[in-house]
Amino acid sequence: MKHFELNRRTFLLSTAAATGIATTGAATAHAEAAAGKRYQDGLSPWPLVLNTSTIRPASLEDKLRVTAAAGWDGIELWINELEDYEKDGGSLKELNQRIKDMGLYVPNIIGLWNAMPPTREEFEASLPETRERMRRSSEVGSLHVAAIPAPDREDFDLKWGAEMYRELMRIGRDDYGLAVAFEFVGFMKGVHRLGQACAVALDANDDKACLIMDTFHLFRGGSGFNALGLIQGALIANFHFNDVPGDVPREEQGDEHRLYPGDGILPLTQVLQSLKAIGYEKALSLEIFKRDYWEQPPDQVAADGLRKTRECIATAGV
């Protein structure tokens, strides 16, 4: 069906051009997608996004300013930033418009914490707070919100996780116009591997199920990178990009060890080539928590991060 739809769109667009009929905005968007839209002056097949963890000590105002000034395509925010913004009297709908006016967009909010507890009773009790987080994410204009498999536990039931994820997707879609993506975390005791995350997403039995992936978590959880080429790009909602050092054992690495892309040991050329090959089209988001970077001017970190991300893309030849 998907192949048929693509052929149908191509036929309609070609017919319109041949007969001199003006294309609609939607048709133009389809044509851009079919042509392989690119970003960063044509360098990247993906919009490049700065996750605000990379410049965490900065104020939200500074995070927005430096992200736009450095030339990123979007900004990935954290739910506590939205909560604090509202507590200070700010309107998230107005913030949404400001972000757009700055030439940015929001691909994802991190996230829905403690939204996947072990029992139905606890799940129902968590929903009011989860809904508030969905509301905030929707009002700021985010395309996705991340559902983290927490509270963390070694005996996380993947079947129950799939049921919870299916319900979270339904609520997000029906009540907030928001896509909920499942994010696995490499240092968790429970869901920390790509295979486990795929089980949750696929067994949710929803054709919009999707994952948030991260080079650090693929490494830290022991999944590796070779299986990335075996999935469809549509399964990935957002991809976090970073590197890791080679002088710290994998099992001992934490978020604070993340590095700029290209400064560590990860096979980032392979990762980018795999993402291109499977048809991934959404954001490449720089997510780093390195304390040394936090001590530097955020303008410098935003600029250095974009430069190094672009260098990795150029090296990969995608």
Side-chain-facing half-sphere of 41: CA atoms under 13 Å: 3
Assigned architecture for domain 38-316: Alpha-Beta Barrel (3.20)
The 10s digit of each residue's pLDDT in 221-242 is: 999 999 999 999 999 999 999 9
The 10s digit of each residue's pLDDT in 247-257 is: 999 999 999 99
The 10s digit of each residue's pLDDT in 55-91 is: 999 999 999 999 999 999 999 999 999 999 999 999 9
Residue 56 near residue 292 (C-beta atoms within 8 A): no
226 DSSP assignment: G
Strands, DSSP E only, in 52-156?
A: 74-78, 108-112, 144-147
Distances (CA, A) of 144 to 1, 43, 141, 222, 249: 25, 25, 9, 26, 33
